[in-house]
Amino acid sequence: MAKILAVCQSKQKGTTKKIIESGSFKEGFGLIEDAHASSAWHRQVSLLAIESIQKMRDMGFNVGSGDFAENLTTEGINLVSLPIGTHVAVGDEIILEISQIGKECHSGCAVMQQTGKCIMPKEGVFAKVIRGGTAKAGDTIEVVNKGCGKGCC
């Protein structure tokens, strides 16, 4: 079963995130007290698979959860294969809707500055919070329903 390995948060954009014990996710907003949380956009929460992080480790980089500014580090779910509009459940409470796959990496990215490479542009996944709740390491993550990929589902 797929699971959450870490919940990560930062107060400022463009920085790595720190692992926290648990996080409160607010419907239509994101992770409370995280710099990227906002009701004004579709990238309220970011997710990255440990399998993607491992690719960077295999290249010799000492990186881990939060280093790519992701809110949730996952294991055992192929995030980049999920179409836009897919709903995923995190633990018993949270429902996220996949809103974007990948992003343009900005020059101020802490990982890009340190390593010259970043996996978020191709393997990072972003979501809106449909139903809030609390998430912690060890929680399950599973697909509730697949979207059509057009953002209309």
Distance (Å, whole) CA 21 – CA 12: 19
Residue 51's SS3 state is helix
Beta bridge partners of 145: 87
Has residue 107 got a pLDDT over 80?
A: no
- pLDDT at residue 147, rounded to an integer: 79
End-to-end CA distance of the chain: 25
Sheet with 30-31: strands ordered across: 30-31, 22-26, 133-136
In the chain the domains, ranked by start, together with CATH numbers, are 3-145 (2.40.33.20)
User: Tokens 């953002």 appear where?
Assistant: 151
CA distance 106 to 77: 26
DSSP state of 7: E
Q: What is the DSSP string of 57-121?
A: HHTT----TTTT--SEEEES--GGGSPTT-EEEETTTEEEEEEEE--PPPTT-HHHHHHS--SHH
- State how far the Cα of 113 lies from the Cα of 111, in Å rounded to an integer: 5
User: Which of the four pLDDT bands, split at 50, 70 and 90, describes residue 118?
Assistant: low
Torsion, CA 152, CA 2, CA 5, CA 67, rounded to 10: -50
Supply the mean pLDDT for the chain: 88
Give residue 119's pLDDT.
62
Amino acid 65 reads S
Average pLDDT (9-35) is: 94
Residue 75 contacts residue 140 (beta carbons within 8 Å): no
Per-residue pLDDT band at 14 (split at 50, 70, 90):
confident
